[in-house]
Amino acid sequence: MSVHFREIQVPPNPSQRLPEKIKNAGNFAPTSKPNIPKVKEISLRRITEIIADIHSDRADSITPLEWTYCLWAKAEWDIKNPDRAREISQAIWLVAQNNPRLKQQLLWRLALHHSHQLENAENSNVPTLDRALVECFADFANTAIGTDALPVQIIKILTRDSSDYELAKLSWQYLKTPKELLAKAQLPAHIPIVDRAQAHLAGIFAKNQVADLSGVEWLLRCLKEMPPPQQLAAVEELLVKISSDILKNQRPKLVEWVRSEYYPKLQLLSAPAQESLNRWIGGLNYSYFQKTIDLVARMLRLSDAEIKQLEERRDFWANYSDRLQRVRLLLPQSSASAIGYQLPFDVDTLPEDGAPATEVCIFQLEGYYAIEFFRGSGAEIRLIKRSKESDRLLFVKKELSIKRIRKLGGEVHDRVLLWQSSCEKWLKQKNIVPNQGTKSFQGMSQYYGKYDAANGLRMPESQEQKEREILLKKWQKEMESLS
């Protein structure tokens, strides 16, 4: 059998054929050289020449690039000229006082040098700055003023045993995060000590009882810069160490941030921290309720009886503040116009629906929603079991009216004479109990306000109970008219 191959046709060599457009392009070739400015050749001088200029007070003739080379090559020059190393180093620091670029290079390299020493002193074989320059820094530091004071202070901190804590303390004094502080000083902001300094910030905040706006905002910036594990540890420390006065001055901003970031991740926190966070959140929610009550009582034209009723509600819920997981406040338009601008938190407006005007507060508790009608006919408290639907209606739905809320039903309790003891027992049946450690109820007399977890509050005496029952019947008729 024979095999026949087809003849292969090879295209002509490209060099033998030139496209017509390329031929034409040659006609437009420039006849003169383009007007490109000539760049002067840079000839880097030897280290001995640069040192000679430093020694002869001719530092002005040294270029920035030559200074960089000098700082890099001087260590080797020092080995060959040990008797002159300190003299030249002192001269360099002296020049740096009036040479910002050189000064920044020296301070930057010195910070890196001490950082390397801190992290691995034994293996720091390649110094970022030679020993003589490091030793002569003290002379520069003694005369540092103005903007030089901060970098000098930080570099001195880097040489101390407790450098990370000292840096954290300086960070608080300047109200800068550690990274912001080093950036302000024009020093390397990502050296390892910065991360270690961040571990002390929460403790410094708690120890110094910081509560002003600038201090709280400083801490929040610090927390946001931390990696997740370090941030979690800092939040744990804050929750455990700040047990009282959490709402002092501007601290509610911290509570709001911790609630937003960690309440959805509650399982990450230890049991003591979880308990503290619930106390923080409850205290914040109660403060919203308290401020609203106080403004309504002060700004609206209410009778003494209405004001007393509002104050009783305010004081009663103070005993349950740790249980308040969430709060929503709704005001009729008249109240919103009178006090809304004075409230430092969001409230919603109740549309008119024919029902007597009243402010409404909705508390989220464990297993229930408690709805407080501040005043007017009924002025009751309602308990509605928690569910996805009730959550949507009470906390998500924008348009809520008084009649619509009452139509949700639930269990109802009065607010007539000595209602507190009855209400406390009613709530206890739902596993809603006062704050841990409560011995007496705020806003009640010593006789009726005494509380113990087993027996609750003292019930009214027989005569007062009769008066209460008469008022209770009147209240029940009011409630029937509202249904």
Each residue's pLDDT, cut to its tens digit, for the chain (483 residues) gives: 555 556 656 555 555 555 565 556 556 555 555 566 665 566 778 999 999 999 999 999 999 999 999 999 999 999 999 999 999 999 999 999 999 999 999 999 999 999 988 877 555 555 578 899 999 999 899 988 888 999 999 999 999 989 999 999 999 999 999 999 999 999 999 999 999 999 999 999 999 988 899 999 999 999 999 999 999 999 999 999 997 778 888 889 999 999 999 999 999 999 999 999 999 999 999 999 999 999 999 999 899 999 999 999 999 999 999 999 999 999 999 999 999 888 888 899 999 888 888 999 999 999 999 999 999 878 899 999 999 999 999 998 888 999 999 999 999 999 999 999 999 999 999 999 999 999 999 999 999 999 999 999 999 999 999 999 999 999 999 888 886
Strands (E), 365-442: 368-373, 381-385, 411-413
What's the pLDDT at 33?
58
Q: Which of 313, 218, 234, 227 is nearest to 269 (CA)?
A: 234
Contacts within 8 Å (CB) and 24+ apart, 434-437: 434/319, 434/320, 435/319, 435/320, 435/321, 435/322, 435/323, 436/322
**Phi and psi at residue 363, in whole multiples of 5°?**
-100, 140
Return the bridge partners of 364, or none: 326, 369
Q: Which of 280, 294, 233, 273 is nearest to 252 (CA)?
A: 280
Instruction: Quote the CA–CA distance of 220 and 82 in Å, as a whole number.
Output: 51
Q: CB atoms < 10 A from the CB of 158, how many?
A: 21
Burial readout 120-138 (b: 16 or more C-beta within 10 A, e: otherwise): eeeeeeeebbbebbbebbe
Return the bridge partners of 440, or none: 450
Q: Do residues 235 and 269 make contact, with C-beta atoms less than 8 angstroms apart?
A: yes
Q: Do residues 178 and 154 make contact, with C-beta atoms less than 8 angstroms apart?
A: no
Q: Cα angle vertex 449, ends 447, 451, to 5°?
A: 110
Instruction: Quote the CA–CA distance of 362 and 404 in Å, as a whole number.
Output: 14
The tokens for 269 are: 């926190």
Q: Running DSSP on this structure, what letter comes out for residue 36? A: P
Question: What dihedral do alpha carbons 297, 302, 305, 308 form, nearest 10°?
Answer: 0
Q: Which amino acid, 241?
A: K
**Phi and psi at residue 453, in whole multiples of 5°?**
-60, -30
Q: How many residues belong to the chain?
A: 483
**Terminal CA-to-CA distance of the chain, rounded, Å?**
108
From the centroid of its chain, how far is CA 400?
33
Name the strand (E) or helix (H) holding 470: helix 462-482
Q: Characterize the bridge pairing of strands 451-452 and 411-413.
A: unpaired
Q: Which of 161, 200, 162, 167 is nearest to 181 (CA)?
A: 167
